[in-house]
Chain A
Amino acid sequence: MSDFWIIVFAISVMLGAVGGAAVTTWFERRLLGLWQDRYGPNRLGPFGIGQVAADMIKLLTKHDWVPPFADKWVFIFAPTAIVVAMLLGFAVVPFGPGLQIIDLNIGLLFFLGMTSLAVYSVLLGGLASNNKYALLGGLRSAAQMVSYEVFMGLSLMGVVMLSGSFSMADIVESQRDGWYCFSQFLGLFVFVIAAIAESHRLPFDLPEAEHELTAGFHTEYSGMKFAMFMLGEYLGLILISCMITTLFFGGWLAPFSLTFIPAIIWFSLKTFLVICFFILLRCAIPRPRYDQLMSLGWKIMLPITLINLVITGAVALWIAGA
């Protein structure tokens, strides 16, 4: 692609991701309603999709208030960090053959770096609010993110070993013989759990656990800044769904050689199904206690990841030697 078209593509990916995040808020509530045998938002427009616009108008016209006791500039900066980091993460996602903003040779590490920078949003939001609920939420999220980041990265190293590259396009290409969800099912299992914890969605939303901490790190946030936090969270959901599709479910590759359907349709369909799975998880599993979360991470997830790495390395060497 020429420079001009890459810029056009990048802007359309950005608008698509933000629009997708807005629609996902509505879609999530409808789908939860369906599974819980109730309606969900169904008043405004066909199937209640006008709710997206209504929510947006409400959030954007609210008084944009900074509490006088807060650390003003950090308070304003915090919600932007998560949105910027998550949008940057979309730069390495291959939406189709050649349909990628930039094919970095460290694409996977770039994605990990961006997710780890998104943590600061929650941390600094909790710190700058100068409120004990927000501070506790921020503290919890710091411990949770640092712990789960460790094996989120390690769980992907099996994929890197098998494909021999950090580049996202190469990883998709190397799955022509078989998707990694079969050979790396332990990696997939750990990555899904770590990814939910990284994006602090239910059931791992301890930083904002509303029963104990009012709203956790965004207790003091309202209006547009609160909308930024929500936007970042839903962007994160879409980004990790794209990543799971790319790394474990063959990306834009067509299953059963159904290649007459365009690659980007396959990619969107797979990502859509992963998003549905995350929403189902939200209504199916209760939130663990904080110490349960920590011991799950260090005592179960980390050993599983290490075993997966050892086995994958041994098998990869054995195949290379044979």
Chain B
Amino acid sequence: MELILFYIASTVAILATVFALTRSNAAHALIYLIVSLLAVAVIFFLLGAPFAAALEVVIYAGAIMVLFVFVIMMLNLGEEGNQRERQRMHPTVWIGPSILSAVLLIEMLLVIANVDGPQTGALIGAKQVGLTLFGPYVLAVEIASMLLLAGLVGAYHVGRRFRLSEPAEAIEPRENSAENQEQA
């Protein structure tokens, strides 16, 4: 039963990723990417990592992809954007990436062939994840948090400068820029 579910979820993930790469409409590509992330979450769940599956849904599908959709909405590409994208996706563009990913695929198949067998059955809960993260991997957690802090400070700086250069009335930078684009 689990094996069947695993193969269904994997097929959905692969197909959705392929569509996410090949669609010329940015919004459609993003929807395929979200489906692909949800399929990966199902795979995590089946492999006995419910916590990782939940985080995949909450953080990747639920927050990061929302920001991507947000950006797409701000850009408001429309039909011209699709046309431009279609011209850009000439068959010759695919040659380089295809060769590189084929090399990676062969490498991965070799690695899988040498592993003794899939580790299944053990359920890894939130507590174990937490203990591992703040035990042996605490350095990685700290580095990640420093990276996030740097990003936060950078974003604050960019936002601050933008706001100071504006006249006092225009306090809502985000909304105004969206409206200006609409009018343009």
Q: Which residue in chain A gives the minimum CB-CB distance to B54?
A: A109
Q: Which of B27, B58, B72, B74 contacts A113 (CB 8 A)?
A: B58
Interface bin, chain A = 20 to 34
B70 at the A/B interface (Cβ < 8 Å)?
yes
Q: Which of A104, A139, A291 contacts B73 (CB 8 A)?
A: A139
B62 at the A/B interface (Cβ < 8 Å)?
yes
Give the number of A-B contacts (CB < 8 Å). 94
B18 at the A/B interface (Cβ < 8 Å)?
no
* C-alpha gap A139/B31 in the complex (Å): 17
Q: Which residue in chain B gives the minimum CB-CB distance to A126?
A: B73
Within A269-322, the residues touching B (CB, 8 Å) are 290-291
Q: Which of B25, B54, B66 contacts A145 (CB 8 A)?
A: B66
* C-alpha gap A126/B28 in the complex (Å): 14
Interface centre among A113, A124, A135, A138 (most CB of B within 10 A): A113
B50 touches A104 (CB 8 A): yes
B76 at the A/B interface (Cβ < 8 Å)?
yes
* C-alpha gap A167/B172 in the complex (Å): 41
B51 touches A109 (CB 8 A): yes
A139 touches B74 (CB 8 A): yes
Shortest C-beta distance, A72 to chain B (Å), equals 11
Q: Which residue in chain B gives the minimum CB-CB distance to A71?
A: B27
B67 touches A123 (CB 8 A): no
A166 touches B57 (CB 8 A): no
CB-CB under 8 A from B63, the residues of chain A are: 116, 146, 149
A142 at the A/B interface (Cβ < 8 Å)?
yes
* C-alpha gap A222/B108 in the complex (Å): 50
B69 touches A127 (CB 8 A): yes
Within A109-140, the residues touching B (CB, 8 Å) are 109-110, 112-113, 116-117, 119-120, 123-124, 126-128, 132, 135-136, 138-140
B50 touches A120 (CB 8 A): no
A117 touches B61 (CB 8 A): yes
Q: Which residue in chain B gives the minimum CB-CB distance to A295?
A: B171
B34 at the A/B interface (Cβ < 8 Å)?
yes
Question: For chain A, what secondary structure do more than half of its interface residues adopt (helix, strand, loop), or is it mixed?
Answer: helix
Instruction: Using known A-B contacts A105-B50, A109-B58, A124-B31, determine if residue A143 contacts B182 with beta carbons closer than 8 Å.
Output: no
A106 touches B66 (CB 8 A): no
Q: Encode contact with A along B116-130: 1 for CB under 8 Å, 0 otherwise.
A: 000000000110000
Shortest C-beta distance, B170 to chain A (Å), equals 11
Q: Which of B55, B125, B171, B174 contacts A143 (CB 8 A)?
A: B174
* C-alpha gap A67/B82 in the complex (Å): 20
B179 at the A/B interface (Cβ < 8 Å)?
yes
Within B17-46, the residues touching A (CB, 8 Å) are 25, 27-28, 31, 34
A8 at the A/B interface (Cβ < 8 Å)?
no
Shortest C-beta distance, A199 to chain B (Å), equals 15
Q: Which residue in chain A gives the minimum CB-CB distance to B64?
A: A146
* C-alpha gap A140/B54 in the complex (Å): 26
Shortest C-beta distance, A239 to chain B (Å), equals 16
Q: Could you jot down 6 A-B contacts, CB within 8 Å?
A: A71-B27, A106-B54, A123-B70, A127-B69, A136-B175, A136-B178
Spell out B's residues near A (CB within 8 Å): 25, 27-28, 31, 34, 50-51, 53-55, 57-58, 61-63, 66-67, 69-70, 72-74, 76, 125-126, 171-172, 174-175, 178-179, 182
Lowest 3 A-B CB distances belong to which pairs? A116-B62, A109-B54, A113-B57
